[in-house]
Structures are given as C-alpha cells and as structure tokens.
Chain A
Amino acid sequence: MRSLNPACKFISLLAVTLLLAGLRNPWWNLAAFSASMLLLLLSGVRMRTLLLYLIPVALAAAGMFFTGYRFTADGSMPVRSDAFLQGSSNLLNGITQLSRVLAYAGLGYLFALTTDRVFMVRSFQKQLHLPQVFAYGLLAAWGIFPHMALEYRRTRAAFKARGIRVFPISPALLAPLLVKSVRWSEELSIAMESKGFSSDAERTESTPVHVHAKDAAFTAFCCIILPVTAMLLR
C-alpha cells in the first residue's frame, strides 16, 4: 500500500467509502474493515500502534451500536423508525451502525498510515492538479503544528503570571495564538520565497510521480469491480 500512487489510492478508497455508504449491509462494512486491518499490517504498521489508534474508534463504534440498538422511534413520532432501520432487528441495526464506524475508520487509517505526506502532495499536484501554492503551503503548515502546543502553554503561563484566570479556549488566550500564527505564516512564506518558491513558476521534479500498472489495477478494482460485484450480489 505504501508504494501505491497516493492520488489513485485516495480516489480508490473514497470510491469504496461511497459504495459502503449506499450499501447498508454490515457484512460489506466488516469485510472492508478486516481488509483494511490486514493491509495495514502487511504494510508494516505495528500492531501496537494500530491498537492504540483503534481505541477511540472502538469507543465510537460501541456508542453507535447502542444508539442503533436502543433508540428507535415509535408510531407516535412524525417520522417512523422503519424508514431508518438498517436491518430487520434492533441488533442488526446496531451492528450496521457499529460496522460503518469501523469500516470508515479502517479505510481512513489505511490511507493515513500508509501514505508519505510529501509523496501525497507531489502526487495530488501532478495527478489531481492541486495548485502548488496550496500543496507546499500545506506541507509548511504541517511543520509548525508541533510548536503550537508549546506556544499555548507559554500564553497560559503569561496570564497566570499576572493572576488572570483564563479558560482553556478563552478568546483572550486564543487571540495571542492567532497573532502568532499569522506572524509565523508570514515568516514561513517569506522563507519559502527566499528559496525560490513561486506559486506560478515552472519547477522540475526530483522524483517524478507516475501512475503505474498496479495503481491502475487497484483503482479499477475499487472503482469498477467492487461496485459491480456489490450490485450483482444485491
């Protein structure tokens, strides 16, 4: 999965997500989740990392299961639950909701954990014609995210040092952070420009990103074979 063209991978996994949204079949969802986990492990993602990432997903899935299982509208409501039930029983309805969360999370992790961000941006730029100012701006912004946490702590400490109480997302606390973010983005943009980056100039590519046969095969499988199979099996 790591060597697949990111643009092809993105389109393919998006197609599978849309397909699952229209199917309302828990077995397809569980199959997609299982396939995602298998592919993640085969791509070298460590089991421990995967389990950690799955903790919030499991909580959300459990929540959705009980929502589907327990809460249904009765005949006195203007909208009847029959119209929304995913299966013939509350249990099946719960499992359908749970499996959807697992499937979407699995597909999301499959993309996020097997895609290099620089490779992705290069591929989006080449294959999906993403404007380069947006692509490289995104990469630069990625680099400053880790500094935000420290800046947040610094700003809180400044208020504390004057005995001023602030809530974690108080506007008074966020205003200095906003000012700093703008200042940082200005500095970054000047630094990029000083290295010759221009939004409209032609650039060469150190490692051209191409679409290979395996990328086309994966895209065809996800965008054509899977939907056709799903339609035939309905």
Chain B
Amino acid sequence: MSILFDSLSFTYSDGLKPVIDGLNCSIDRSGITVLTGASGCGKSTLLYLAAGLYPENAGSITGGRVLIEGRDPAGLAPPQRCRLAGMMFQNPELQFCMDTVRNEILFCLENISVPPEEMDGRLHSALGFCGIEELEDRTLLSLSGGEKQKAALACIVAISPQWLLLDEPFANIDDESARAIASSLGRLHREKGIGILAVDHRLDSWMGIADTVLAMDGGRIMPERIDARDIDPARLESLGIIVPGRSYSPSIPVPSPGETVLELRDLSVRRGKEELLHGITASFRRGMAYAVLGESGAGKSTLFGALSGIFPYKGKALLEGRDLRHLRRREAGRIGFITQNPQDQFVGGTVRDEMLASLRNDPDAAGRSEEILRLIRLWRYRDISPYMLSQGQQRRLGTAALIAYDCRCLVCDEPTYAQDRRNTMAIMDSLCREARERGIALIFSTHDRQLAADYADEILMLKEGKLHAVAESSL
C-alpha cells in the first residue's frame, strides 16, 4: 500500500546532471504526504515519475525503479495507469479536453471503459462530492481558476484511483478556493481511502490536513520525516523552506526617497463584464520599494497588466507626468516589468541576446552582458534559447535582464514565486539594491507578508478592488 522509489535516478537528457539522483523513499497510503523543497530540486519530476507520465513524455530513468502499489506505472497503458494514480496539475487552464464539466467527466469515464449505464451515477456522485452540482453544464471556459480545480478534482473522484498526485494545486487559485479544495482532499482521503502525495513549495494550505512533510534537495529526499502537526520552523528554515513569520534579514542600503515617478489617479480596470479594480489612487517615488499584497484573485496581476498595457484602464496612470497610454515607443521602456512567469518577458533568441536587448544603449553592451551573465551563473548557457533554461535559471535571467534595463520604475509580479529562501533573498536583495542605487521606484507583489515587511518601504493592500496603505505592524 505505498509508492516506492527504489534507488531511482532520472535525467532529462543524456550528459546532463541527473534531476533525481539515487533516491530511496517509501510513501504510505495511510496518510497525506506533502513533498516540499526549492524550485528545481526535482519534486515535480518525482511526481510525474510516480504517475508514470515520465519517462514516456520526457527524459529517461538511468537507474532504479518506481513502484506504485507494487506495479510499475510506466509499464501500464493510460486507462489502467489512471486507475492506479490520478493527477491534478498546477495550471487549471491546461488540463481539460472537452467543453463542459459534464462532458469532461464523461470523457474520463469513457477512457476507463465504464459501462454507459453506470456513468450518470458516477458523474453525479463526483459532482456532489466536490459540491459543484451547479457547474455540471457550465462550459469550462466560463469557470474561475478555483472552479476549474474543483472540476479537475471531480474528474479524479469519478475515476476513483488508488492514489492522487497533486502538483502545486493551489498555485493559481484564490485562498478561499484553496481552503475548500484542501477540505475536499482531506475527505477524499478519509472517506474513500485514496492515498495523497502533493508537491508544494508553500505549506500554508496543507496545514491541518497533511500528516507528513518530506523535504527534497538536489534530487534526493531528506531522510527526516516531519510531522505536519508539529513543525519546527527552525528545522524547515535550515532546509531552505520558507517559513511564515521568519525574517529574511535583508542586506540593503537605507532608502533615500526621490520625486514621484508613477502616479495612479482614480484608476479602474474591467475584465470582461466585471470591474475588478476601481478608484485606485497611489503615487510611487524614486529609490523606494513598494509591496502590493492581496489574496489570489484580488487583482494584483490585473493592476500590473493594466500598467503594462495588456488590459485597458480608465482614469490616469502617469509616468513622470505623462499618461502611460500616450508614451512614445522609445519612452515605453521607462517602465519595466518582471512577470510571474519569466517566459512571458523573453524577447531574445539566446540568453546573451536577452541581456543585450536590455543593454542596447550601453556602449559596452557586450562586456556588461558578459559580466552580468557570469554574476548570475548563466554565462555557460549564453548561446542557448532562454526557454531551454530551468525555471530557476529563467527567473534569474528575467530579473537580471530587467534590472540591467534603464527604467524609471520597475513593476514585478511575484518576483520570488516558487523560489526557496536563499533564492528569494538573493532576488530581493539585488532588486532593492538596484532600486536604491539607481533611483528606481520598485513595485512588487507578493503573498508573503514577511517578505513585504522586510523589503518594502511602503506596503499596499489590494482588497475589494481598492488599494489601501497598511502599516507594517498590522501585518
């Protein structure tokens, strides 16, 4: 009754360092286990191996084996495999094939050859379990991120596998939906006896339902099994895991506030028929760091999207006194953006081109790009596509490229998303130092209140479509 990783080694490409390196571990079905660790440590890869999706879809096993309930998942055909282990993915947008919730669940049941006369019963039972009966005939496109994850869970409940494997299922949904899904997962485990193994870099949503926390580092699972009900923050911190409430101890110069560089006046943004942001008024000064807090779905990405020109807005957004909508092309770069997904900001064909794009006006662009790439340890990858880098490397490149660019205001949408404590501190230290030294107004969004308290000079809270200033002491 377990998942067994027996001396497992896995690599994405021959000649590359193995992502999983001689890993030995057994995970029991009697509890809910959360596997955590830094970005790029191999935890998602391990989950895909347990689900039998790798090595069929990527990479190769160079040693050892994976057994789930005593069977090799990769050796099974998909219809048999999914009854052994169901999988829920991070991105709710990219896991459906049909048009409505009903058709998607029926698609799953057809795949595993459930007799047609049983399908309606299993469909309604799954919808009822997840509390989404009213969504049965809704199109998947019309659902929110949280509703999509509930629909994905209903698919798994309908298939009723022995194991449920989750890859950061709460990453793209609001906190309320995360709590509702976490509660359903707890019931799924207790009432149906389904084993649960989840991968997550944050533990907040799992507290209360998880039994065991395992930490992963450098392709191996730490021998220590942490009881999820009795976590020692110091121990987690020593493993590089972000612990809510522990200071980052930033090493940045003191702020010297300059003049206002960006001013928002009565800004409103509409997405579809709903006005997500309304009446936002704020000003941002040179050399200062501003944190924007707010629950998932509060509108942080919408606000930043409006400033970057992705979403239209009403009201005024003035950069050095000129409306962003009326900036000339060569002036548009005065406001830089670091996106949540670094792939959204790449403009170069190679890593070096990506840096050179930011240093176009620098007479020593070649020398400076080499210096920066060596500093962020990407010089050896200078001639490959930025898309070929690992997620952590992409984040470093994206941040460095925008820091190098000569902008007046830098807007960062969760710059430390999915980073471990060490990388988080390195990214924030360099962003804040550059902001101070070059007189840039730095605006960053985050879910981490401690990060905001440690690095921001002013903290703003986005709630019910409005932006409020909050005191550090009230966090």
Interface residues, chain A, CB within 8 Å of chain B? 117-118, 136, 139-140, 142-144, 146-147, 150, 153-165, 172, 175-176, 179-180, 184, 186-198, 201-208
Contact = CB atoms under 8 A, between A and B. Distances in A.
B53 interface: yes
Contacts, number: 159
B119 interface: yes
A172 B114 contact: no
B440 to A, nearest CB: 14
Contacts of B41: none
A144 B92 CA distance: 12
For the side of the interface on B, what is the size category?
Answer: 35 or more
Given A143-B141, A162-B347, A187-B94, A194 B337 contact: no
26 contacts: A139-B97, A139-B98, A144-B93, A156-B309, A158-B337, A158-B339, A161-B333, A161-B336, A162-B405, A163-B330, A163-B331, A164-B347, A175-B349, A176-B343, A176-B346, A191-B87, A191-B96, A193-B57, A194-B51, A194-B82, A196-B112, A197-B78, A198-B111, A203-B113, A205-B116, A206-B106
Contacts of A197: 78, 97, 107, 111
B308 A161 contact: yes
Contacts of B305: 157
A164 B305 CA distance: 18
B81 interface: yes
B78 A196 contact: yes
A194 B53 contact: yes
B95 interface: yes
Nearest to A159: B347
Given A176-B346, A191-B94, A195-B155, 8 more contacts: A144-B93, A157-B309, A164-B347, A187-B89, A195-B97, A196-B112, A204-B119, A207-B116
B375 interface: no
B358 interface: yes
The residue in A140, A188, A196 that gathers the most chain B C-beta atoms within 10 A of its C-beta is A196
A44 to B, nearest CB: 17
A144 B336 contact: no
A157 B97 contact: no
A61 B111 CA distance: 46
Contacts of A172: 347
Contacts of A180: 343
The residue in B98, B106, B116, B357 that gathers the most chain A C-beta atoms within 10 A of its C-beta is B98
B329 A165 contact: yes
B111 A162 contact: no
Contacts of B129: none
Nearest to B165: A194
Contacts of B97: 136, 139-140, 143, 188, 191-192, 195, 197
B81 A196 contact: yes
Nearest to B158: A195
B272 to A, nearest CB: 12
A190 B58 CA distance: 10
